[in-house]
Structure 1
Amino acid sequence: MTLLDVSIVNVALPSIRDELQLSPAELQWVLSGYALTFGLLLVPAGRFGDARGRRDVFIAGLVLFTLASAAAGLAQSAMWLVVARLVQGAAAGVVNPQVSGLIQQMFAPRERGRPFGLLGATIGVSTAVGPLLGGILIATIGPADGWRWIFYLNVPIGIVAVWLGYRWIPVATERKRRESLDPLGVLLLGVGVVLVLLPLVQEREWHGSGKWLLVVAGAAVLAGFWAWERHYGRARTALVELGLFQVRSYALGALIGLLYFAGFTTIFFIYTLYLQSGLGYSALEAGLAITPFAVGSAAASAIGGRFVQRFGRHMVVGGLVAVIAGLVATDLALRLVPGAGGGWAAALPLLVAGVGSGFVISPNQTLTLAEVPVARAGSAGAVLQTGQRIGTAMGIAAVGSYFFNRLAAGQGDWGGAFRGALWLTVGFVAVALVAALADVLSGRRERVPDSGRDAADVPGR
């Protein structure tokens, strides 16, 4: 639910705009507000789950997300919908870090590949299938009320998920820790993340170059956060364990995740716009055209989770190469088959890119968290996801800016704008490939530890 809501709203934006009479700025906040509060809560919520128990925090986040979804569906004004989306994003930020933490808690290191594979499949499918599901709801119910059911759909799912959470998720047997939750660290990180993300998510609405000074200010605040965490961590448990970044698998995996998500999520943003506005596809047809990526990603994620121990970071390298090849072939298919047939001609290349994506997301997450102690699993996973959220915002800002500027300069040349933006997306993935290759070529082949304990607890690690 939480990741689906990142992409499902895209196809409903025209209906929401017409029904609630939203301005462009308000429409942007329906999308960007969710991403902003999502990224803001990840690390504090991950730390809170580590310290107070992940199951209860997970269920509380689900309850809040379900209520916010109902409120969004009932929205009667722009402000109502924007506030509901902000709360939805915050609840998503509470839920998500508990998932990776629970996997770390419930499975020994050698057993984590498969559950992380299923998690990767969920991430890939949720992000990619959003436009299809949104298109089906709008086509079935109609544009006037179809967008409301995009949010209502979460209510029954959320109720069942809360019930199953109480029944199935075990309570940690270890004594819950009562150390300080590092409130100053939470504040510094929150301010820094907001300052960095805000101009990125508002890039199309805030004109001029002055907004980028906020990124500089955010970087300064995050530097202060880093210094505070070093000081605070000498005597107590800091919000972020900075020693994690001295672990090669974690540092490189976090960088790969940031760069890949900068390219990965922008594909659906620009492709959905191109199909609907450039090629005249309906919301449902646009969703169907993207479905091959979701299918390939889901299948490969499940498979990749089982073989990540054997191939390590080499699997991530192969996945990134497949993504690049699939996106380049997509551009070629759209050139060779102009007009409305282009979207269907690109189905096979998108399937290849989806398969590659499945070999990137879940194996990278497994390898990145392999050497993280269970006690820090939630906050470590949250830092990883925060980087992915920042990468997503960065990618959408850069690719979206190029796309719309090229569209304006080309007087409605949707094909040229999309292909140029697609190559910028390929550039982000290529840089992620360089980071993965650097790890492989260094001679340290990343593997999930075979012992039943965390690699971070093994002497010499």
Structure 2
Amino acid sequence: MLPGEDRAARRTLLVCLAAGTTTLLDQAVLNIAVPSMRHALGADTGDVQWIVAGYSLAFGLALVPGGSLGDAYGRKRFFLLGVAAFLLAGTVAATGRGPGTLIAARLVQGAAAGLVNAQVIGTLQDVFHGQDRGRALGLYAVTAGVATALGPPLGGALVALLGPGQGWRCCLLLSAPCALLTLGLGAHWLPPPRRTARDPRPDLLGIALACACTLTVMVPFIRTPDSGGQALLWAAAAPALVLALAGQQRLRARRGRPPLLHPALRTSKPYLLGTAIAMAQFGASLASSLVLTVFLQEGLGLSALRTAAVTLPSALAMGVTSACAWRVVRRIGPRAVPLGLALGIGAALAGAVVVLTVPSAALPVACAGVQALTGAAAGLTVSPNQTRVLHHVPAEAAGVAGGILQMAQRIAAAVCLSAVPAVYLRSAPAPPDGSGARAAYALASCVCAGLLAVALLLSRLSATARGRPSSPGPTDETGPGPDARPSVANI
């Protein structure tokens, strides 16, 4: 029989995992239904960009203010509010009759998802400590990664079974039962709200400037191609806003008030480099998945169901390797992340070689094999890196730190989901033929390999910043930790 505190911690973890599954599955499952959704709504390219990438935009915008509000006023009420808004907006999106309704609903849904996930990261850091914090954050990262990888197979199955007219709508409703379950469990199992910030008054100006910085970086990559001049104006505003945010944070600290960006976040090289690694890996992963989906359906003419079957091994491999990742970390320490990134680079390059050399009849099977390698690489990278990034974050900045990490990933998603598919679409003939689509996909895969190579270089720099420890020490995220309770080892 587990102690009461142990059981409460496990229940909290299950609620957080359910929330991660609900919000991240929703975006991933829609990718494979984009062609049928576009035809059913008569949406143009700009509409599709906003439907797909607008979710990430709103998600990213809500993370930092959501984390700050949770730190200041307690996390439970914002968690429940976010899940309820997510459920309502998802229902509106699934029943929408035009692109405008769908875009608006997805923006609201993305903001709600960002609010929820900011509370999840903060809650895990509030409840768990030492070794168990690493395990809890790792389980959350694994759950999120597997949910993202399972999205395309589930979406493909729904479109195949229900047809293109209703399939994409059911893809948007797939997360509704999960949201209802998460809402009920969260109301009963999450710990009561408590403040962790030293000053309960949030840094509203800092939040506004952080949101403005996020907008200026993300919006140019999801606007329509004919708005290039406006995109340049958005991009030009970014450096000025970053400087304004930095100055405002210094001034607030000088006045003795806690800034939005805790000093430990601004000065920690492992945190900054680990966040950059997460950006490159996350962006490359989402972009490669979307390009593969488009290539298989429009380049090779596969059905949504066969496309789902090709992508399924990625989810399975990620689940298996994620479960084994902690053993790898115990054996080789921080070198686990570079190992996973190197494997991911190999998988991306192998995908380029496969599509250029394998005959059409055997190509789906070969691509499925490459996807298994891709999933294995992600399983060795995602959760160990996230745990390293958040391990030494102070409790009073837990929500903001998690929000910044996820915001950075969402920025990477918006950029990569626009840039990498653009490389493919501009290189592929219209309409796509076999050889032209193959060459375009190979080029896009090489771009993803380049992103992972940048992440690999950053991981080596991060190892240098940490002193290249040969094995996890007692204060490392994989070490025993002096206060390793509540335990999640038996979950």
Fold shared by both chains (TM-score > 0.5): yes
| Stretch of structure 1 that moved more, 35-44 or 5-14 | 5-14
Given that 2:420 and 2:444 are in contact with CA atoms closer than 8 Å, whether structure 1 keeps it comes out as yes
What is the letter of the counterpart of residue 360 of structure 1? T
Q: Which residue of 1 aligns with 2:372?
A: 351
Deviations 1:402-456 (A, max 9, x none): 21221249975110000001001100000100011123345333731643369xx
Q: Which residue of 1 aligns with 2:489?
A: none
Matched with 1:61 is 82
2:169 alignment counterpart: 148
Larger mean Cα displacement after TM superposition, 41-50 or 259-268? 259-268
Q: Given residue 377 of structure 1, which amino acid in structure 2 is its aligned partner?
A: A
* Structure 1 residue 312 displacement after superposition: 3.3
CA–CA separation in structure 1 for the residues paired with 2:293 and 2:196:
48
Q: Tell me how far 1:178 sits from its aligned partner.
A: 5.8
Q: Which moved more, 1:297-306 or 1:361-370?
A: 297-306
Does residue 217 in structure 1 map to residue 215 in structure 2? no
Residue 429 (1) aligns with residue 452 (2): yes
| CA–CA distance in structure 1, aligned partners of residues 417 and 315 of structure 2 | 19
Aligned equivalent of 1:444: 468
State whether residues 222 and 418 of structure 2, in contact with CA within 8 Å, keep that contact through their aligned partners in structure 1.
Answer: yes
Query: What code does the residue aligned with 1:452 have?
Result: P
SS in 1 for 2:225: coil
Cα deviation, 1:126-147, whole Å, max 9, x if unaligned, reads 2222111111111112211111
Give the RMSD, CA atoms, in angstroms: 2.2
Cα distance per residue 1:136-190 (max 9 Å; x no partner) = 1111122111111112222222111111112222225667766221111111111
SS of residue matched to 1:76: coil
- Say whether the 8 Å CA contact 1:293–1:351 is kept in structure 2: yes
Q: Does 1:43 align with 2:61?
A: no
Asked if the contact 2:261–2:400 (Cα under 8 Å) also holds between the matched residues in 1, the reply is yes
Counterpart position of 1:126: 147
Q: Is residue 393 of structure 2 the alignment partner of residue 369 of structure 1?
A: no
Sort the Cα spacing of 1:306 and 1:44 in 2 relative to 1 into closer, same or farther, 3 A.
farther
- Aligned-pair CA distance for 1:48: 0.8
How is 1:195-206 mapped onto 2 (pairs within 5 angstroms)? Answer: 195-202=216-223, 205-206=225-226
Preserved contact between residue 71 and residue 195 of structure 2 (Cα < 8 Å): no
Q: Distance in 1 between matches of 2:28 and 2:453?
A: 23
Residue 2 and residue 275 in structure 1: after superposition, are their counterparts in 2 closer, same or farther (change >3 A)?
same
Name the residue aligned to 2:437. Answer: 414
CA distance in 1, matches of 2:198, 2:23: 28
Contact 1:47 1:379 in 2 (8 A): yes
2:287 alignment partner AA: T
Distance in 2 between residues matched to 1:101 and 1:309, nearest whole Å: 25
Q: Is the 8 A contact 1:53 1:176 kept in 2?
A: no
Rounded Cα–Cα distance in structure 2 between residues aligned with 1:331 and 1:175: 48
Q: Deviations over 1:75-111 (max 9, x none)?
A: 1222211111111011011011212211111111211
The C-alpha deviation readout for 1:177-235, integer Å capped at 9, x for no partner, is 66221111111111111111001122x53454662342221222122112111211332
Distance 1:432 1:352 in 2: 18
1:299 equivalent in structure 2? 320
Q: What CA distance in whole angstroms lies between the structure 1 residues aligned with 2:250 and 2:483?
A: 27
Query: Secondary structure at 2:289's aligned position in 1?
Result: helix
Q: What amino acid maps onto 2:373 in structure 1?
A: V
Q: Deviations over 1:224-281 (max 9, x none)?
A: 1121112113321222214313123212111111121221111111100000011111
1-side partners of 2:78 and 2:195: how far apart?
Answer: 16
User: Residues 220 and 232 of structure 2 are in contact (CA less than 8 Å); yes or no, is this contact kept in structure 1?
Assistant: yes
Which residue is equivalent to 1:333?
354
> Contact conserved, 1:120 with 1:302, CA < 8 A, in 2?
no
SS at match of 1:240: coil
Contact 1:120 / 1:358 at 8 angstroms: preserved in 2? no
**Higher mean displacement: 436-445 or 156-165:** 436-445
Hey, what's the Cα distance between the residues in 1 that align with 2:449 and 2:66? 33
Q: How far apart, in 2, do the equivalents of 1:71 and 1:363 lie?
A: 37
Misfit runs of 4+, over 4 Å = 172-178, 408-412
The letter of the residue matching 1:4 is: L
Is the contact between residue 150 and residue 312 of structure 2 (CA under 8 Å) also seen in structure 1?
yes
Hey, what's the Cα distance between the residues in 1 that align with 2:329 and 2:75?
26
- Please, which runs of 5 or more residues in structure 2 have no aligned partner? 1-21, 485-491
8 Å contact 1:300–1:358 — kept in the other structure?
yes
| AA matched with 1:444 | R
CA contact (8 A) 2:73 2:193 kept: no
Structure 1 stretches of 5 or more lacking a match? 455-461
Instruction: Supply the distance in 2 between the matched residues of 1:249 and 1:310 (Cα, whole angstroms).
Output: 20
Please tell me whether residue 382 in structure 1 is matched to residue 403 in structure 2. yes
Contact 2:196–2:396 (8 Å) recurs in 1: no
Asked if 2 retains the 8 angstrom alpha-carbon contact of 1:260 and 1:429, the reply is: yes
2:264 to 243, 254, 266: 243
Relative distance call for 1:233 and 1:146 in structure 2 (3 A) is same
Is the Cα contact below 8 Å between 2:274 and 2:462 reproduced in 1? Answer: no
> TM-score, normalized by length of structure 1?
0.92
The question of whether the paired residues in 2 share the 8 Å contact of 1:199 and 1:206 is answered with: no
Letter in 2 for 1:190: C
How many residues align? The count is 453
Q: CA deviation at 1:400?
A: 2.0
Matches of 2:240 and 2:364, distance apart in 1: 44
Alpha-carbon contact 2:217-2:235 (below 8 Å) kept: yes
The answer to whether the aligner puts 1:262 opposite 2:292 as a matched pair is no
State the partner residue of 1:157.
178
**1:230 equivalent among 250, 261, 274:** 250
Helix, strand or coil for the counterpart of 2:106?
helix
**1:339 counterpart SS class:** coil
> How far is 1:324 from its partner?
1.1
**Whole-Å separation in 2 of the counterparts to 1:110 and 1:431:** 29
Aligned residue number for residue 459 of structure 1? none
For the 8 Å contact 1:292–1:350, the answer to whether it is kept is yes
1:345 is displaced (CA, Å) by 1.0
